[in-house]
């Protein structure tokens, strides 16, 4: 593929960097990303193509859960390398024709970016070896300062788990709000991990007489954090 000024090569995005900026057309009007989302968490996600079955199941699910994400101060933004009119026609078809797992008349209210030049998809590493003409299923969780906090890529055949994406958003917000880490399979209400001991004295104390925590070893201590406290902290930030 030629590398020309209109077809630049971008580095793969990484966790911790500012989300690559772009302006684009969407099904909800123009978007200036991530500038117009300052102060909100955002999930920017791509799908391979409009009018395809896995993508249809995903969009209906995500649209149904949008209110729950918004409650947690998280907005949704979709993208594929299809054009605007295809997007509009597909979203109309979802609402008017599809009845799937109890979801019907589903209106997708979040913006769906048209990216026929693939410029946004390339900036976000969404065009991968699987296909030169379709984006993979990428998920970028971006924080209120516009920093990429989580990246997940799935192949075309694998529909995403939206409970997991919600868990990711809540876990990241919990880590920020309480200065903790979240262990495997963590859900609100489960114990959280306190920062590791930073000195030999603290390490000794944690092993011999831990205070308000359970220590499995000097570097691995957990403490209680009840669900109500977590959800109150997150939902009040809306």
Q: How many residues belong to the site for ligand BEZ (CB under 6 A)?
A: 9
Nearest of 142, 194, 136, 192 to residue 168 by alpha carbon: 142
Residues 6+ apart with CB under 8 A from 217: 207
From residue 93 to residue 132, the character string flagging contacts with ligand BEZ as x (rule: CB under 6 A) and all else as - is ----------------------------------------
CA distances from 183 to 45, 174, 186 (A): 25, 12, 5
Catalytic residue among 55, 74, 215, 221: 55
Span interacting with ligand BEZ, options 51-59, 64-72, 169-177, 193-201, rule CB under 6 A: 51-59
Residue 54 touches ligand BEZ, criterion: CB under 6 A: yes
Distance CA(105)–CA(158), nearest Å, equals 24
Distance CA(166)–CA(152), nearest Å, equals 13
118: number of Cβ within 10 Å: 16
From residue 133 to residue 162, the character string flagging contacts with ligand BEZ as x (rule: CB under 6 A) and all else as - is -x---------------------xx-----
Please identify which residue in the block is written with the tokens 């009119």: 85
Selected from 13, 48, 125, 146, the binder of ligand BEZ by CB under 6 A is: 48
Distance CA(78)–CA(45), nearest Å, equals 5
- Which residue's CB is nearer to ligand BEZ, number 95 or number 237? 95
- Which residue's CB is nearer to ligand BEZ, number 136 or number 215? 136
215 has catalytic annotation: no
Selected from 22, 25, 27, 52, the binder of ligand BEZ by CB under 6 A is: 52
Residue 53 touches ligand BEZ, criterion: CB under 6 A: yes
């Amino acid at each position: 593929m030629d590398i020309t000024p209109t077809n630049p090569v971008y580095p793969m995005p990484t966790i911790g960097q500012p989300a690559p900026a772009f302006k684009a057309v969407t099904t909800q009007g123009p978007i200036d990303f991530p500038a117009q989302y300052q102060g909100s968490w955002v999930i920017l996600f791509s799908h391979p193509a409009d009018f395809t079955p896995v993508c249809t199941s995903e969009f209906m699910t995500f649209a149904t859960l949008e209110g729950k994400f918004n409650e947690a101060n998280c907005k949704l933004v979709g993208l594929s390398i299809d054009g605007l009119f295809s997007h509009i026609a597909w979203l109309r078809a979802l609402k008017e024709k599809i009845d799937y797992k109890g979801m019907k008349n589903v209106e997708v209210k979040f913006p769906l970016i048209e990216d026929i030049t693939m410029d946004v998809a390339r900036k976000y590493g969404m065009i991968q070896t699987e296909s030169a003409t379709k984006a993979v299923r990428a998920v970028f969780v971006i924080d209120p300062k516009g920093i990429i906090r989580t990246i997940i890529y799935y192949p075309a055949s694998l529909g995403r788990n939206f409970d997991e994406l919600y868990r990711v958003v809540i876990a990241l917000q919990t880590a920020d709000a309480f200065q903790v880490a979240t262990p495997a399979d963590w859900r609100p209400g489960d114990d959280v991990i306190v920062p590791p001991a930073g000195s030999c004295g603290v390490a000794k104390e944690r092993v011999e007489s831990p205070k308000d925590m359970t220590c499995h070893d000097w570097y691995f201590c957990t403490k209680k954090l009840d669900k109500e406290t977590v959800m109150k902290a997150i939902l009040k930030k809306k």
